[in-house]
Amino acid sequence: MKIYLVRHGETDWNLRGMFYGWTDCDINEKGMIQAKRLKNFFDTTDYDKIYASDLLRAAHTAEIIASDKNIKVKKNSCFRELFYGDWEDKEGSYIRENYKEELNQWVKEWKTSSLPGGEAFPDFYQRVTDGLEQVIQENKGKKIIIVSHNGPMSAMLCYLTGAGPDGFWHFFCEQGCYSSAWVSEKKITIEKINCPV
């Protein structure tokens, strides 16, 4: 099977440097343009299913991509971003000023600790990779698209490359681009990462 990974289009929260894992917001004008460019690319590509995080910014991006294909977007909460807890909907500068000690601790112990009131990284990684594994098992021999967020896509690339959780910070998924991989019973081949359209 072939898997395409796509990050949602730009939001105003991206521009403000917000922590907004589960905070629901839509893509902005630039995000709409990015989604339409991805749609134009995928209009020339055969695929069987499209999955998305159930958060608006990812689901809307997926709906734009699939708009001419008569393929319904399958929303899955497994592909949500990390839940930031008390830091949800706060700017990075605010967190650095008001949660300096907690931020420093999380930076040092991110694999085992959680943000204040938030989701622990091991739980996040397990959630995302369980969702990916289920999609793989249900779609052998098919071509699928998953539209998600930077964090979950990085986790999925860790899983697909065999880097595991330790490799998480080695990936960053650009908006308006896609990554792709071939998955078989014998091996996984990464085809592209952050390929522009």
Catalytic residues: 8, 149
Residue entry with tokens 């708009």: 67
**Is the distance from CB of 147 to CB of 61 less than 8 angstroms?**
yes
Query: Cα–Cα distances in Å, from 197 out to 33, 42, 43, 62, 76?
Result: 12, 9, 12, 15, 25
Residue 94, Cβ neighbours under 10 Å: how many?
Answer: 13
Token digits of residue 7: 């990050």
Nearest-10 crossing angle of helices 56-65, 29-43: 40
